[in-house]
Amino acid sequence: MDMRKVAISVFVLTGLFSAVVFAQSTGARPELVVPENTGLENAVINVAGTTGKAVVSISTEHTEKVQGSGQRKLYFNQPGGSPFGGGQNDETFRRFFDDFFGGMPDREFKQVGLGSGVIINPEGYILTNEHVVNNADKITVTLSDGRQFKGEVKGKDARSDLAVIKVSAHNLPVATLGDSDNIKIGQWVVAIGNPFAFALTNPEPTVTSGVISALHRTLGMMLAQDKDYNDLIQTDASINPGNSGGPLTNLKGEVVGINVAIFSTSGGSQGIGFAIPINNAKRIMTRLIEGKKIAYGWMGITVQNLNEDLAGYFGLPNKNGVLVAKMIENSSAQKGGMKERDVIKQFDGKPINSVRELLSAVAATEVGRKVKLLVVRDKKDLTLDIVVGERPESTENLEEATVAGVVETSKWRGLEVEEIGGQNTQGLRMQGAKGVVVIKVEPGSLADSAGIIQGEQILEINKQPITSAADYQKVTQGLKGDALIRTGRGYFIVKG
């Protein structure tokens, strides 16, 4: 199972996943009818007996070939050659090895993954996670009644972590897709999937119950990597390896989410699971079935949430809104007149109170559409017309470079910096060839209290560009009062 460890590990349940199949009725077969709630116990029983029939187990195989001859050459070309004392060009030993043992054959390593899915159409369309079927050479789908079918990927989208696969079957039971916008914290939910399916011979899915613990949860970039985990449902219903791709339902049996990850210190369920809201999946799912590319809106800016210090500095009455920290050259936002240090208050007429709200709004906007943004610039309201662009396949290398320069250090308010290219900054990925990098932050200092960390590239201080150590020293010398510092991560107020 693929996993990443931080202080607590986040397991995006790859390798062992459960995929649930939710299907929207096309008229060929009516959706499953779930009886009205007759108490919690009966409700869970009803969900297991109805929606559970639409949950499938997905097993995948991926084969990697390793060339034996390549391995042997690598071994003999190492300094010192053979383990028996011959040199790296000891042809006599080479011949002895090949004659006695024969040439080392190519070898194949087979990787097996398990997950879940849910049937979303009676003609065999199944919704699951992208990471469940990614790189699979063979997909086998097992229905709750034990029948097995070969699965074919009809479409997948890595950013949303959703995929649709198809089996050659008809008149299948489908799950009813609910409305995740109406769910509430504390509401009872049921998770269905096939955890540890490799160890169980019964094809029927596993059912666990719990409550919705929180809404709109976000997994940071380090944990999510290239996935868009910015609006997740958190639940304490037990989710284990193999549940990935399976449904999270309400007590009516309506699917409200697709299970995707857990927080764990051991790899097992500890009551902190996450699911993709089903409303977020509906638009993606439809386009995947149609074979269309999933395009995400993009403005080409980096934004950050406001805190009380930043709100006060920019003369705002509260922390609602997001601050534009960085602008990509020739991006749609720049072409529309947006500038760094603008505070975005509204997007297409909708109030924007946080980064999460802006990201969701932009990503859901049709590429090429012109929208109006209300921003605050120099304490004045301003309306901008921005044409939403298409998010690039990768944004990792935008405005990044590896640079070299002259070493020079200085200290100010607990910061020790070095000009880019110094001995402590070699190999760092920077936004330009000029400027300074924080190489040390004194614990408990004003800079430390502001949130500045080692490795930050300082770009501006009080709106003055910092392109060299000389700029840094000139701006900071004798500086009094609060200072607005812009780094590669955004803006910070360092008290004075």
The pLDDT confidence band at residue 90, using thresholds 50, 70 and 90, is: low
Q: Lowest-confidence range among 6-15, 231-240, 246-255, 302-311? A: 6-15
pLDDT of residue 68: 55
pLDDT of residue 197: 55
**Domain spanning 1-67+106-293 has what CATH number?**
2.40.10.120
Closest Cα partner for 323 from 446, 460, 156, 492? 492
User: Average pLDDT for residues 7-16, to the nearest whole number?
Assistant: 45
pLDDT of residue 38: 55
Q: Name the residues annotated as catalytic.
A: 131, 161, 244
pLDDT of residue 92: 56
The pLDDT confidence band at residue 28, using thresholds 50, 70 and 90, is: very low
User: Average pLDDT for residues 282-291, to the nearest whole number?
Assistant: 89
The pLDDT confidence band at residue 16, using thresholds 50, 70 and 90, is: very low
- N-term to C-term CA, the chain: 49
The pLDDT confidence band at residue 141, using thresholds 50, 70 and 90, is: very high
Cα–Cα distance for residue pair 261/23, rounded to 1 Å: 22
**What percent of the chain has a predicted confidence (pLDDT) above 70?**
72
**Domain spanning 401-494 has what CATH number?**
2.30.42.10
pLDDT of residue 485: 86
| Mean pLDDT (the chain, rounded) | 77
**Alpha carbon distances (Å) from 360 to 230, 355, 482, 488:** 8, 9, 33, 23
Which pLDDT tens digit goes with each residue over 208-221? 999 999 998 887 55
Give the architecture-level CATH label for domain 297-390: Roll (2.30)
As a three-state string, the secondary structure of 121-190 is ECCCEEEECHHHHCCCCEEEEECCCCCEEECEEEEEECCCCEEEEECCCCCCCCCCECCHHHCCCCCEEE
Q: Does the fold of domain 401-494 match that of domain 297-390? A: yes
In the numeric block, which tokens belong to residue 165?
């696969």
Asked if residue 443 has pLDDT above 60, the reply is yes
Q: Lowest-confidence range among 58-72, 367-381, 399-413? A: 399-413
Which pLDDT tens digit goes with each residue over 91-128? 555 555 555 555 556 666 777 888 899 999 999 999 99
pLDDT of residue 399: 40
Q: Where are the domains of the chain?
A: 1-67+106-293, 68-105, 297-390, 401-494
pLDDT of residue 6: 36
Cα–Cα distance for residue pair 250/189, rounded to 1 Å: 5
User: Average pLDDT for residues 161-167, to the nearest whole number?
Assistant: 95
pLDDT of residue 165: 95
Radius of gyration of the chain (CA): 28
* 3-class DSSP state of 57: strand
pLDDT of residue 196: 62
Which is more confident, 449 or 249?
249
User: Average pLDDT for residues 230-239, to the nearest whole number?
Assistant: 87
Which pLDDT tens digit goes with each residue over 473-485? 778 877 888 889 8
CA 359 to chain centre: 13
